[in-house]
Structure formats: structure tokens, C-alpha cells
Amino acid sequence: MGTASPHSLTPLPRLELPQSDGQECGSSTNLLTMLKAIANGLAPPSGACSPGSSVNCWGRETELRQKIQALEEIVADYERQKFNVLGTFSDFHERVAERERRLEAEYSTRILSLSEEVLGAKKDFEERMKNFSFTSRTI
């Protein structure tokens, strides 16, 4: 595989040069091409990244890094939205609880007032019934 740099978290890929019949593995042209590709951050030459090799294909690595970055952005956006929704829900929950307390107090006051009115009406009715009864006996 590759060697790890003391300042880097990702291992350096081991570059395998393709071998052809007329070339030797360490030819200066291939080495120069590979070094230029590394310096420019480009993928290794076409033969160096075969499906069965253990080489980390830089194009694929870049694509995966972009996907990871996109997923991290999506997760961060999700967390922001979740935080906002939870805050909104918390505010809504507090408003509903306050409204419930207010309505409960209002209805308690209203029931007390209606009870007093009913008692007053009952008392008035009983008084009128006494007067009616007294008047009907005297006649």
C-alpha cells in the first residue's frame, strides 16, 4: 500500500506504473508523467488505475470526497432545520400551554360568575314564590 505522512491523515497511494513490452518499469518518462500528475492533483496515467489493482484512483477519490462533502453539507443543513423546527415547536408548545392556562382561568371565572347568577336567580324566585303564596292565601 502507501506510506503515511506524519502531517496527513490519509495514506499516500502507491503508484504502479503499467509495464509494456518495450519499456521497463522505472523509465524516466513514466516517472516524470506520474510526478506531474501528482503535482497537479490529477489522476494517475490511464494504465496505472486498473480495476484489479490496489491503487487508489484519484478521480474516484475526488468524486468520493465531493460526495462526502455534499453529504456533510446535507447533514449540517438537516441539523440546522431540525434545530429551527424544535425551537419553533418549543415556542408553539409554550404558547399553547399559556393559552390553556389563560382559558382555564377565564372559564373558572365565568363558571363562578354564572353560579352566582343562578344562586341569585334562585333566591329571587324563592322570594317571589313566597310573595305569591302569601298573596294567594290572602285573597
59 pLDDT tier (thresholds 50, 70, 90): confident
DSSP string, 35-93: HHHHHHTPPPPGGGS-TTS----HHHHHHHHHHHHHHHHHHHHHHHHHHHHHHHHHHHH
Distance, CA of 80 to CA of 74 (rounded, Å): 10
Give residue 35's pLDDT: 63
Burial of residue 15 (number of CB atoms within 10 Å: 0-12, 13-18, 19+):
buried
Per-residue pLDDT reduced to its tens digit, 90-139: 999 999 999 999 999 999 999 999 999 999 999 999 999 999 999 988 87
Tell me: pLDDT of 77 over 70.
Answer: yes
Q: Supply the mean pLDDT for the chain.
A: 77
22 pLDDT tier (thresholds 50, 70, 90): very low
Give residue 24's pLDDT: 45
* Domain boundary assignment for the chain: 1-56, 72-138
